[in-house]
Structure 1
Amino acid sequence: MDGLEERRQRITAAGRIVVKIGSSSLTSVDGGIDTGRIEQLVDVLARHRLSGQEIVLVSSGAIAAGLAPLTLAKRPKDLATQQAAASVGQGLLMAQYTAAFARRDLTVGQVLLTAEDVIRRTHYANARRTLSRLLGLGVVPVVNENDTVATDEIRFGDNDRLAALVAHLVRADALLLLSDVDALYDGPPSRPGARRIEYVGGPADLEDVEIGSVGSSVGTGGMVTKVDAARIASAAGISTLLTSAANAGEALAGKDVGTWFEARGGRTASRLLWLRHAAKPTGRLMLDDGAVAAVVQRRMSLLPAGVVKIDGRFTAGDAVDLVNPHGTAVARGLVNFDSAELPALLGRSTRDLAAEMGPDYAREIVHRDDIVLLGRR
């Protein structure tokens, strides 16, 4: 047995697995839920759950499921209509899962998350506690983004990234990403001669790979978001297998299907994973050379004295990019001040600011614990 076969066997031995399935793998051509597809997926997952593995299912499909009842021909582009479709479709989707798992003597629990649930410490602790308790009770959690309350400013945007963060949240042993494509290829799968990539050990393995970004008509993803999710998970020490929903049984049995992304690195804070891989920065802070060196090389906090310019409008707690004098983003962080407050602070020492404006201004613009370095993943 070669090294790759041994790695694939890890998924059969995994005690806890997060499985993500996309909208296009659950719905029919008219946008409604395909009961047959749900039954096939649940049959595979139930067998593994009943054999002793813990399963967390991250399922897209709520918006897609709501299209037909609302007589919408395709996925809406505006957020309000997406939220309306999700509100209608989420109940239909969960009803299908509840019935399908019940026929196999398993109980499911719905867990709707927003981005704040993985970046705000109290929310994060509560989400982890709830998921852990559900698993301890033998329940199969079915997770989705809470589309009905998410906003454009703070949302995952697709369930691939959500699945990677949930895998980290529940300390999963493996992540299985299921879609309508059986693997990652070195070019468009429809192109003659396109070759399946069996193994990705790190970023260098994908440097010359052409990755498509177009998702289905009912989903938001595409291969780009799936590869990004695999990168997030692997960087957090979680091996990931990417394949099609039709291959779910073979994938969980350790067979030679899909693309295996090797785990690398160790566990890190979920909010920092989100900050690097999923957050949408609302502004930019331009740093002088000294501040760039302090943040990037010495991993220090960003102080007012090192900031020369700000761009954008943001509030305390928002994600902002930290850029060097050439305008290149070198890091991203959670800012401690509103953009309206910062112009009066730039270039000044915290000691002077505290003396003039009060002790509340003797703090960092971005604390080192809330900074992630950008660059090659």
Structure 2
Amino acid sequence: MSTKYKRIIIKIGSNVITKADGLPNNERIAHLVQQIAEVKKSGIEVILVSSGAVASGRSLITVADRCDAVAARQLLASIGQVKLINTYAHLFEKVDILCSQVLVTKEDFRDRLHYLNIKNCLEILLQHQVIPIVNENDVVSVTELMFTDNDELAGLIASMLNAQALIILTNVDGIYNGNPQLETSKIIHEVNGKGVDLSAFVSQRRSQFGRGGMITKTHMAQKVAQLGITVHIANGTRDGILTNILSGDMPHTRFIPQKNASGRKKWIAHSETSATGVVELNDGAKQALTSDKATSLLPIGISAINTDFKKGDIIKLIDSHGSLIGLGRAEYSADKAREKMGQKNQKPLVHYDYLYLQ
């Protein structure tokens, strides 16, 4: 297995390990565990982000028709998470590997201290040769508290742990330049640069059992690649997929990484949903920030403070049309920013080291 990767995140989608009847595909899970064991024994650290708790729950209990959708999901996820982790633990035990369960919610990533606590937990597991199996805690994550899907969570974990690669296993061979069911459609083997618009090629349709569609995957993959991490989107239902991706023998879509970003910028890049303040910039500031020169956001470039924030909060930076330019950590409060707005020779509201541009 020839690869330069030292640490990878493997995200397994619901459709990969769920049969057509909605029940878990235990043979597929066992085959993936065998491959993960091979990858780990070759010296690569592996963090697994696995969907499938709801499917596992469905194999154990029938939900009453009167249950609403959120309650049914909580019931199935709560029961199924135990079954899923036991399945993994049993299979990894057979190959002399210890795994652990790490359940998280979006709230855990909003605060830099919580974020670092999760990071430290995952690092100590890896140091002790344990494979962390990360999943969203669907029992408490409902509606606006949820990640878009586990792709978003996997991207966040990849950024947090400075992984070299993120492998997203789905039930198609990659991103196609048309409808995957048409013979004329071909796999896009490489995507290079954040400016590539793939939305024209990608189906809006969501997977049968998962929450996320291919558009979510492509947006997240481009963001993660922009932060310096290679992203592979491949077909997890193919035999030997992981070992073949790592040895370069399997057709799939690879997002080429851009310049590596700092740990702080990686955290800020994934903080859009937890941003409190909204700051509108004038055209001069927008031009300065989006140029190739490293620049902090100075008060002279601010045209309006649209929403209040405190020192240390993540804030959205928008242009005069309301389009998102980037995200940053506020060096002082909205009240102070209003006082300094439009003035020269003032301390930056967002320092370059804490600034992430779209």
* TM-score computed with the length of structure 1 as normaliser: 0.78
**Post-superposition offset of 1:51:** 3.2
Q: Which letter does structure 2 place at the counterpart of 1:131?
A: L
Matches within 5 A, 1:108-119: 108-119=99-110
Deviations 1:223-263 (A, max 9, x none): 12222232233222222221111233422332132112212
Counterpart among 298, 302, 308 of residue 306 in structure 1:
302
2:326 is the alignment partner of 1:331? yes
Matches within 5 A, 1:161-180: 161-180=152-171
Distance 1:73 1:49, change over 3 A: farther
Q: Which letter does structure 1 place at the counterpart of 2:178?
A: G
**Post-superposition offset of 1:205:** 5.1
SS for the counterpart of 2:114 is helix
**Post-superposition offset of 1:365:** 6.2
Please tell me whether the aligned partners of residues 154 and 279 of structure 1 are also in contact (alpha carbons under 8 angstroms). no
Please tell me whether the aligned partners of residues 307 and 346 of structure 1 are also in contact (alpha carbons under 8 angstroms). no
Task: Work out the CA distance in 2 between the residues paired with 1:372 and 1:145.
Answer: 25
Task: Work out the CA distance in 2 between the residues paired with 1:208 and 1:346.
Answer: 37
Partner of 1:279: 272
Unaligned runs of 5+ in 2: none
Partner of 2:203: 212
Partner of 2:317: 322
Task: Work out the CA distance in 1 between the residues paired with 2:37 and 2:249.
Answer: 18
Counterpart among 163, 181, 205 of residue 172 in structure 2:
181
Partner of 1:21: 12
Deviations 1:305-333 (A, max 9, x none): 9343526x888766543222233332334
Please tell me whether the aligned partners of residues 302 and 368 of structure 1 are also in contact (alpha carbons under 8 angstroms). no
Task: Work out the CA distance in 1 between the residues paired with 2:93 and 2:259.
Answer: 38
Supply the RMSD in Å over aligned alpha carbons.
3.5
Task: Work out the CA distance in 1 between the residues paired with 2:353 and 2:87.
Answer: 42
2:357 is the alignment partner of 1:373? yes
Counterpart among 106, 111, 134 of residue 143 in structure 1:
134
Partner of 1:253: 247
Partner of 1:85: 76
Matches within 5 A, 1:30-41: 30-41=21-32
**Post-superposition offset of 1:206:** 4.7
Partner of 2:258: 264
Deviations 1:49-84 (A, max 9, x none): 23332221111112333345453499x985554334
Task: Work out the CA distance in 2 between the residues paired with 1:306 and 1:69.
Answer: 56
Task: Work out the CA distance in 2 between the residues paired with 1:146 and 1:202.
Answer: 33
SS for the counterpart of 1:23 is coil
Distance 1:206 1:347, change over 3 A: closer
SS for the counterpart of 1:29 is coil
Deviations 1:86-114 (A, max 9, x none): 22221111011011111112111111233
**Post-superposition offset of 1:147:** 2.6
Task: Work out the CA distance in 2 between the residues paired with 1:314 and 1:37.
Answer: 48
**Post-superposition offset of 1:345:** 6.6
Matches within 5 A, 1:89-104: 89-104=80-95
**Post-superposition offset of 1:171:** 2.5
Distance 1:65 1:373, change over 3 A: same
SS for the counterpart of 1:25 is coil
Task: Work out the CA distance in 2 between the residues paired with 1:257 and 1:121.
Answer: 38
Unaligned runs of 5+ in 1: 1-8, 353-361
| Percent of aligned positions that are identical | 33
